[in-house]
Amino acid sequence: MYTYFFRLIFRRMDPERAHRLAFRWIRRVAGVPVLRTFVAAVLAPRIEELRTEAFGLRLHSPFGLAAGFDKNAVGVDGMAMLGFDHVEIGTVTGEPQPGNPGKRLFRLTPDRALINRMGFNNEGSLAVAARLASRTPVFRTVVGVNIGKTKAVPEDEAVADYVKSAERLAPYADYLVVNVSSPNTPGLRDLQAADRLRPLLGAVREAADRSAPGRRVPLLVKIAPDLADEDIDAVADLAVDLGLDGIIATNTTIARAELSLASDPALVAETGGLSGAPLKARSLEVLRRLYARVGDRITLIGVGGIEDAEDAWQRILAGATLVQGYSALIYEGPFWSRAVHKGLAARLRTSPYSTLADAVGADVRKTA
C-alpha cells in the first residue's frame, strides 16, 4: 500500500518537500490524543523480549530514528508514535543556520538510497533547547541530542561552538552525540583525528557536567564510514581512554562505489553524503571493527543501510546494542518500524540467545 502511495505521490515530489509534508502529517496525527493512541497501538508494538538497556537508559527496544530527520526536535512524539524507541534529534549547531542553498536532497530509488547535502539546516542550540525545555512528552521515548559545528564559525573556534550547544542542550538530552562525521560542513570530518577529537570531547564532557549537575549525561561520538581502518582503531582507543559512553557507526559516505548502474548518473554525481542500502556493507564492517577493538567497554550504535529486521539483527550480532535507521523509512513507510520490531523478536526467539544483550557482538566474539 505504502509502495503504491510512494510511487504515485512522493516519488513525483521534490524529496525535501515530501519530507516536510509527511513530517507535518505525522505531527498532526500525534497532536490528536485518540488518533495517536490508536496509531501507536498499531505501529509501535511493545514486545517484552526487545526491552534494552544502553548506557544506563531503559528502552522499549533497540530500534531508533537516526539524526537528521527531526533536526529541531519538533516531532519527537510523532516519531515515537511510529515506533522509534529512541529519537536522535539534530544535528543542532551553536548558532541557527539555513543549511546549503538550492536542491540538496536526492532520491536514488533503484538503489534504495539518498544523497543529501543539507548542511545542518537548523534553528540553533538556543531555540532547540527552549523547545525541549517546554516539551511535555506524550510517549516514553529516549531523546538523543546530536550536536555539530556552525558553518560560519572558524575551525579554530569549533570547540567553543560545540561547548555552547552542549551547555544549552545537555540538560534536556538523554544522551549527547558529538557529530564529527557529516560530509557537508567543510573541515568537520578532520575533527575525527585523535589529536583534535580528544580536546573536543573533553571540553564537551565538561560542558555537559557543568550544565546538567547531578546527572552524568551519556556522551557519544558519531563517525564516518570513510575513515581508514587505523583511524577507526584510533577513535575506538580514544573513546575507551576518555571513558566515552558510546560510538555511533556510521554517518553517510562520500563513496559511490556501491551504487548500481540503475540510478540516474546525474543524481549519482551530486555531491553530498550517500545513505541507504549501498552503505550497509561498510557500516557493518566499521561496527565489527569497533566491537573487536572495544568489546563491551563501550556501547555501540549501528546505523547505515538498515532496511529490515535481518539487517538490524546482523548489527546486533556485530556488536550494536542499539540500531538506528533513516533512509529506509522513506522507502518502506510508516509500517517499517513495526516490521523491524516483529522481525527482531522472531529472530531472537529462533536464535541460541535468550536475551538481546547476549546476542550483542556474538558473531565477532565467535571469530575472535
| Residue among 229, 275, 230 nearest 255 (CA) | 275
According to CB under 6 A, which residues from 164 to 183 bind ligand FMN? Answer: 179, 182
Determine if 68 is a binding residue for ligand FMN (CB under 6 A): yes
Binding window for ligand FMN (CB under 6 A); candidates: 131-139, 198-206, 313-321, 324-332: 324-332
Total Cβ atoms within 10 A of residue 118: 18
According to CB under 6 A, which residues from 16 to 55 bind ligand FMN? Answer: none
Between 66 and 158, name the residue whose CB sits nearer to ligand FMN. 66
Determine if 105 is a binding residue for ligand FMN (CB under 6 A): yes
Between 217 and 328, name the residue whose CB sits nearer to ligand FMN. 328
Between 150 and 327, name the residue whose CB sits nearer to ligand FMN. 327
CB of 328 to ligand FMN, least distance (A): 6
CA distance 252 to 104: 14
Between 109 and 351, name the residue whose CB sits nearer to ligand FMN. 109
Which of 279, 294, 309, 316 forms a contact with ligand FMN (CB under 6 A)? Answer: 279
Which of 30, 118, 208, 290 forms a contact with ligand FMN (CB under 6 A)? Answer: 118
**Dihedral angle over CA of 143, 63, 236, 170, nearest 10:** 0
CB of 126 to ligand FMN, least distance (A): 18
In this chain, which residue has its C-beta nearest to ligand FMN? 68
Which of 100, 146, 299, 321 forms a contact with ligand FMN (CB under 6 A)? Answer: 146
Establish how many alpha carbons lie within 13 A of residue 161's alpha carbon, considering only the half-sphere containing its beta carbon. 23
CA distance 63 to 338: 10
**Annotated binding site, which residues?**
67-71, 91, 116-120, 146, 179, 184, 222, 250-252, 276, 305, 326-327
Active site positions, annotated: 182
Determine if 124 is a binding residue for ligand FMN (CB under 6 A): no
Determine if 185 is a binding residue for ligand FMN (CB under 6 A): no
Determine if 67 is a binding residue for ligand FMN (CB under 6 A): yes
The region that residue 187 occupies, defined by phi over 0 for left and psi between -120 and 50 for alpha, beta otherwise, is: left
Place of cell 558529538: 178
Binding window for ligand FMN (CB under 6 A); candidates: 52-60, 62-70, 136-144, 213-221: 62-70
Determine if 100 is a binding residue for ligand FMN (CB under 6 A): no
3-state helix/strand/coil string of the chain: CHHHHHHHCHHHCCHHHHHHHHHHHHHHHHCCHHHHHHHHHHHCCCCHHHCEEECCEEECCCEEECCCCCCCCCCHHHHHHCCCCEEEEEEEECCCECCCCCCCEEEEHHHCEEEECCCCCECCHHHHHHHHHCCCCCCCCEEEEEEECCCCCCHHHHHHHHHHHHHHHHHHCCEEEEECCCCCCCCHHHHHCHHHHHHHHHHHHHHHHHHCCCCCCCEEEEECCCCCHHHHHHHHHHHHHHCCCEEEECCCECCCCCCCCCCCHHHHCCCCEEEEHHHHHHHHHHHHHHHHHHHHHCEEEEECCCCCHHHHHHHHHCCEEEEEECHHHHHHCCCHHHHHHHHHHHHHHCCCCCCHHHHCCHHHHHHC
CB of 95 to ligand FMN, least distance (A): 15
Binding window for ligand FMN (CB under 6 A); candidates: 26-34, 111-119, 186-194, 293-301: 111-119
CB of 158 to ligand FMN, least distance (A): 16
CB of 219 to ligand FMN, least distance (A): 15
Between 15 and 361, name the residue whose CB sits nearer to ligand FMN. 15
Binding window for ligand FMN (CB under 6 A); candidates: 31-39, 75-83, 110-118, 137-145: 110-118
According to CB under 6 A, which residues from 206 to 265 bind ligand FMN? Answer: 222, 251-252
Chain residues that interact with ligand FMN, rule: CB under 6 A: 66-68, 71, 90-91, 105, 114, 116, 118, 120, 146, 179, 182, 222, 251-252, 275-276, 279, 303-306, 325-328
